[in-house]
Amino acid sequence: MASVQAQARRRPVIAILTAKDRHRSMRGRFSNFSDIIRVGKKLGATVYVTTAEDIRSSHNNIVGLYYSKQAGMWMTKSFPAPHVIYNRIPFRKYEAKPEIQQMILNFLQDRKVRLFNPFFFNKWTLYEWLSRAKSTKSSLPKTEKLTSPSILETYLEQHAAVYLKPIHGKAGKGIMQGQRIKQDGGPKYRLIHSTGKKRHVHHFWTIPEMWLHLKQKIGAKEYIIQQAIDLTKSHGHPFDLRILVQKNHTNTWQLTGIGARVAGKRSITTHVPRGGSIRSASKVLKAVFGPTRAQEIKENAGTLAIVIAEQIEKSSGYELGEMSMDVGVDSSGKLWFFEANSKPMKFDEPRIRRKSLKTLIQYCIYLSSQSTDKYTESP
C-alpha cells in the first residue's frame, strides 16, 4: 500500500482539449484557460492545454501548454496522459471531422480517461429531447424545422413574429426575425437580421418572395423556425436570463449563477456580440416584478435549468458536466427555454466566474477518482 506521503503527492491530471488552426496555432480563449490552470493548481490538480493531434500522437508524454506566471507567457512542455479531458474544441467544423469524432468516441470508451461534454449541441435535437419530457415540454416555444414556405406561412399566420435560427449556430450568429406587418396597402412581411451590431431590414409582399430571399441567404444551412416570445423589457429593451449549471464534486447538477442579458438598441437578440449588455438578474427582475416576485422567478429559473440539464444529459446518453442556457421571461413571469450551450462562454459576473472555475475543477477531480488509472505522481 502506498504511504500517506506518496498518496499526498498524487494528483489528478486534466487536459483542456482545443484545436489548431491552419497555421498550427492553438485556438481558444487563453485567458479562460489560464484561469482554469490557476484554480486547478490551487485545488491540487495538474491542468494543461493540448490538441487532438498532440493527444493522439502519444499515450504517455503529451505536448501541452501551460501558463508560466514567472515568465509571464505560455510555455510548452511534456505532460502525463490525462485522467480527465475537458472538451473546449471551439469549432463545429473541426469537431465534426471524422478523425476527431473517432478520437472522441475512443476516449468515451476508455476506462482510464473521462471525457465530458463530447459534442456541440444541436438546436433541433435539443427541442426534440425536451419536448418529449413532461417536466420541460411546457417551457418550450412552438418550434419546427424550417423546410418549406408553407411552414413559414403557417407560423406567420399564427404569430406576429418568429425567430429563424441556424441549427448549428452559436452566439446569436445567423439568427433572423420574421414579422407580420399590420398595415394596409404596403408590404405584409418584414425580415430583420444583423451583421455584427449592424441591423438589416427587408420587406416583402408575399411569403414566396420572402422564402426566395431566405433560401438565397441561408443556402444549405439547416434552420428552425420558432414562435417569438414577447419578453419582459428593462427600460424598453427585451431581456432574458443567462444561466450556468454545472456538476459538482458529488456528480450532482447545481446552479452556479444567473445573469441578465439585455438587447441592444433595435437588436433582435440579447447576445452580447450582437449588441446586448450584461446586467444583474436580480436588479432587472426586481425593477419589473418587485422583490418578492423577482426572487420567486429567479428561484424557478434555477430549478428549471437543473431539470433541463438532467433531461438533456439523459437524452444525450453522454456524460455532461456543464452547460449555459438562455431562458426568457414573459410579462406574466412565465419562463421559456430558448437555447443551451455545451461549451459555455465565460461569465463576466465576478461571483459567477469564481464559483464556475472552482466547481469545474472539483467536478474534474471527482471524475479523475472514477478512472481506473486514478492518479499520477506529482513531480
Distance CA 82, CA 88 (A): 15
- How far apart are alpha carbons 372 and 189 in whole angstroms? 60
The per-residue pLDDT for 54 is 85
Least confident interval from 141-145, 169-173, 296-300: 169-173
Confidence of residue 319 (pLDDT cuts 50, 70, 90): very high
SS3 content of the chain, % helix, strand, coil (to 5): 35, 30, 35
Please answer whether residues 28 and 74 qualify as being in contact, where contact means their C-beta atoms are separated by less than 8 angstroms: no
Rounded-to-integer distance, Cα 163 and Cα 39, Å: 39
pLDDT average, residue stretch 97-122: 91
- Residue 62 scores a pLDDT above 70: yes
Report the pLDDT value the prediction gives residue 7, as an integer from 0 to 100: 36
- pLDDT tens-digit series, residues 221-246: 999 999 999 999 988 888 999 999 99
Q: Output the pLDDT for position 6.
A: 38
| 77 pLDDT more than 50 | yes
Ranges assigned E (strand) in 167-313: 176-180, 189-195, 198-204, 223-227, 233-234, 237-247, 253-262, 277-280
